[in-house]
Structure 1
């Protein structure tokens, strides 16, 4: 087996390539996943979340010289026009999974509050970067969302809605990846979430959770050195989550082959058959040796040396088994001799944004400083540690 060693920049470039090449040329919708190793796939399912990350990837591609500004702006316009004019929505929210050729709902999936928000954040990133019609369409797309409707008479928003059965009973009521949802929804100009919804959001100091919980929000918003009205340090829990993930894998390296030589990254990702996609956590009884290379890569903001060590180890140990056209495959489990051949859009997106922010802070400048996010941060009472802010 030939050994490979791709730098973080090359891995980021290949992640960008996924978003550039796996986006439909007529709709601008981006596949949920694609084949990374072997023959090209025939997948036709897009996700609105992956489409959001594709929009956010465009400014990175331009800045890095991976695509021309004119081509990237044309792609952004194509996507934003389809989203605003053609893609079915309800109260401003979109279905989670859609056919990339025409935007039709697939798999009887839910109208997703969390995945729609990932789309919105990517749209705002592209809008701020390109300006003009892109900015107008992105801002209008986000402004039309009706967040009190998604609350469905509760303090926390529902996870989604289906036309056949109504609202999903589960809500975004505690510490998960959903802090970015609140920070945007609190700041939209027309139908925002009320301040009380943020104040009711529960918080945990326990970092033994899937890595992606600590990776989606900092892709767009820099909360370092800030605390909210309740004095909660969100950046701190993100930091500790990464440290705990790596430490847990190191502690269990004798029992699990996968975790040896500095490999870590327990998160939501593809799992060995027959499970399929699922989430694991760095705690006893909730893991089986499966890791996602993108989870380690997205740790570049918090544990850069542990990120470099994990990615170098993965490539040295497994080489072509996990390396393909879009970088490292979504997941692997050496204990079960299982190596994924796909990549997943949202995971590549988290990794790409984290890497770029660790270098330039680009997405923080584009999205974190957007008026909607600035209002959301104000409503949640975020201030520098040691200062106070009156309730918004």
Structure 2
């Protein structure tokens, strides 16, 4: 199957089949990671242009985790063959094996040519635990997908296990503080000083950190650190919808996407929340904010919504109902497809009706736009393109949720941290609280 992203005119869009449109949008976003990948490493460029590649070698580690997931979707959708997928995955793994790491933890950005660290900022010139966790999330899915007894698949699994096993998650615990820290610098150590706590995009970081026997964390680091023993609880109503966790109005929508490209929120719960309810309500609040439109922004409404981090007219920004700059990011509504399918499809159809030469390009929808000022980004971001593919696929088939949650280490970690999930209830695969050395 070879689909070309070619948005129809509004009258035709109104008659198009939902599944065809979803396929087109996924396929167009996949092209970012396939045709738009870094030419040597095969990893994901941090950003790219609507009509041309950037003149640099900047690769995003978290975005590359989403690239691995996108490749699996492409195989299942017959856009590429298993052989093509294996070839690209092996190129990407070779690049990762030669990437500069810090106690096994990857930096935020690397140079795609040689794997050297590209500092994110002056104090952030070393390891980034959250970006590393998004990478490992994708690698876990790849390992579970290539599960045959062939020598090729066995080699892929072994390479992934070595990369995963070498991550020293506990090296990001500052002495005397029972919480994971986002950044560590070989020169400035913890000077960046950002604890990974409160409700945000990093739940999967704690789950993966609990997997490792040698370099892992104990359950109290999750409860004391991330959950802060319940301090991240919310429980208030916004636009008539109760929000279990997090900041007022829920924060940017990527909180409901990044960790949940792999973690299946359906039936996932612990002592703090039901995570399906959390993400569904967060998405609905974000949608209702545009419907109510308290700032009276032109163009907002039931078919034009979605606030998250994205490019903006004056640079990168983090949008949410509590911090609304009038900039809509298509990834916000599209990646919420599992949570708000009707509202997300309304937005998709509306985005397709906007000016082709501005709203779309070689990789589908541009990163963001402002209805009020008629500004359109000329760029794409890996961390926005990736969740579009992954979350729409989880809505359509549950593919990535099934793969990630099938890993024995993930089930063990969730049990260790006090979670419940239907994926942990398979009688044929009982999980105990004992270390699973054989899997790692």
Please say whether Structure 1 and Structure 2 have the same fold, judged by a TM-score greater than 0.5: yes
**Closer, same or farther in 2 for the Cα pair 1:289/1:75, shift >3 Å?**
same
Partner of 2:211: 187
Partner of 1:141: 163
1:197 Cα offset (Å):
1.2
Q: Does 1:251 align with 2:269?
A: no
Matches within 5 A, 1:161-240: 161-167=184-190, 168-200=192-224, 201-202=226-227, 203-204=232-233, 205=244, 206-228=248-270, 230-240=271-281
Which stretch shows the higher mean deviation, 141-150 or 22-31? Answer: 22-31
Unaligned runs of 5+ in 1: none
Separation of aligned partners in 2, 1:15 and 1:28? 16
SS in 1 for 2:311: strand
Partner of 1:323: 360
Separation of aligned partners in 2, 1:162 and 1:8? 41
Separation of aligned partners in 1, 2:180 and 2:95? 26
Unaligned runs of 5+ in 2: 1-6, 14-19, 147-152, 234-243, 426-430, 435-440
Separation of aligned partners in 2, 1:391 and 1:59? 30
Partner of 1:278: 317
1:134 Cα offset (Å):
1.2
SS in 2 for 1:166: coil
**Closer, same or farther in 2 for the Cα pair 1:26/1:256, shift >3 Å?**
same
Separation of aligned partners in 1, 2:130 and 2:70? 19
Q: Residues 259-313 of structure 1: CA distance to partner in whole angstroms, max 9, x if unpaired? A: 135211101111112xx11202112xx1121111011110111001111101111
Partner of 2:131: 115
Separation of aligned partners in 1, 2:89 and 2:350? 36
**Closer, same or farther in 2 for the Cα pair 1:227/1:75, shift >3 Å?**
same
Which stretch shows the higher mean deviation, 364-373 or 253-262? Answer: 253-262
**Closer, same or farther in 2 for the Cα pair 1:384/1:365, shift >3 Å?**
closer
1:207 Cα offset (Å):
4.1
Report which structure shows greater RCO (CA 8 Å, sep ≥6): 1
Which stretch shows the higher mean deviation, 60-69 or 136-145? Answer: 136-145
Matches within 5 A, 1:307-386: 307-383=344-420
**Closer, same or farther in 2 for the Cα pair 1:121/1:222, shift >3 Å?**
same
Does the aligned pair in 1 maintain the 2:293–2:300 contact within 8 Å? yes
Q: CA RMSD for the aligned pairs?
A: 2.3
Q: Residues 344-386 of structure 1: CA distance to partner in whole angstroms, max 9, x if unpaired? A: 111111111101111111111211221221121111111259x
| Equivalent of residue 27 in structure 2, options 7, 10, 13 | 13
In the superposition, the TM-score normalised over structure 2's length comes to 0.82
Separation of aligned partners in 2, 1:43 and 1:334? 31
Partner of 1:67: 80
1:245 Cα offset (Å):
0.2
1:17 Cα offset (Å):
0.8
